[in-house]
């Protein structure tokens, strides 16, 4: 069975056996290095404000995307699986929005009623 699966790699619709050239992994590895150096430089160069947050989040998402897509082989999975795994974490973003509102409110309460206190 395994011989049949490896003999027709291009036409068979993605079998359970992942086979890609090593070069692909090395390329991704180099890119992860470059992106990590990039996010480290954000701190070294002391970028501030919107530029800092923008760069940090962009580099983070690029790195996460590369790891999930290539290292974890998500790019070659059926969309049924990809969506089942990648869509639910969106709920965390909803939670983030809720807690951001909540914590701003808490901070306002602290400033207002605890006279800037702890």
Partner 1 sequence: MNDTGATQPHAAPTLEPGFKGIVRDWSSDQRSFKTASWGKVMMWAFLLSDTFIFGCFLLSYMTARMSTTVPWPNPSEVFALEVFGVHMPLLLIAIMTFVLITSSGTMAMAVNYAYRRDRKRTTMLILVTAFFGAMFVGMQAFEWSKLIHEGVRPWGNPWGADQFGATFFMITGFHGTHVSIGVIFLLIMARKVWRGDLDNARPGFLTGRKGRYEMVEIMGLYWHFVDLVWVFIFAFFYLW
Please, which residues have CB within 8 angstroms of residue 78's CB and are 6 or more apart in sequence? 14
Name which of residues 76 to 95 contact partner 1 (CB under 8 A). Answer: 77-81, 83-85, 88-89, 92, 95
Nearest 5°: the CA angle 63, 20, 8 is 145
Q: CB count, 10 Å around CB of 100?
A: 10
Binding positions for partner 1, rule: CB under 8 A: 1-2, 4-5, 11-20, 22, 25-26, 28-29, 32-33, 36, 39-40, 42-44, 53, 56-57, 59-60, 63-64, 67-68, 70-73, 77-81, 83-85, 88-89, 92, 95-96, 99-100, 102-104, 106-107, 110-111, 114, 116-118
């Amino acid at each position: 069975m395994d011989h049949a699966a490896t003999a027709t790699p291009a036409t068979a619709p993605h079998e359970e056996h992942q086979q890609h050239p090593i070069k692909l992994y090395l390329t991704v590895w180099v890119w992860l290095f470059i992106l990590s150096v990039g996010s480290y430089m954000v701190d070294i160069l002391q970028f501030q404000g919107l530029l800092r947050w923008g760069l940090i989040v962009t580099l983070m998402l690029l790195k996460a995307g590369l790891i999930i897509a290539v290292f974890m082989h998500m790019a070659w999975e059926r969309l049924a699986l990809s969506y089942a795994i990648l869509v639910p974490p969106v709920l965390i973003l909803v939670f983030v929005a809720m807690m951001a509102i909540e914590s701003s409110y808490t901070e306002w309460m602290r400033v207002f009623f605890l006279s800037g206190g702890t």
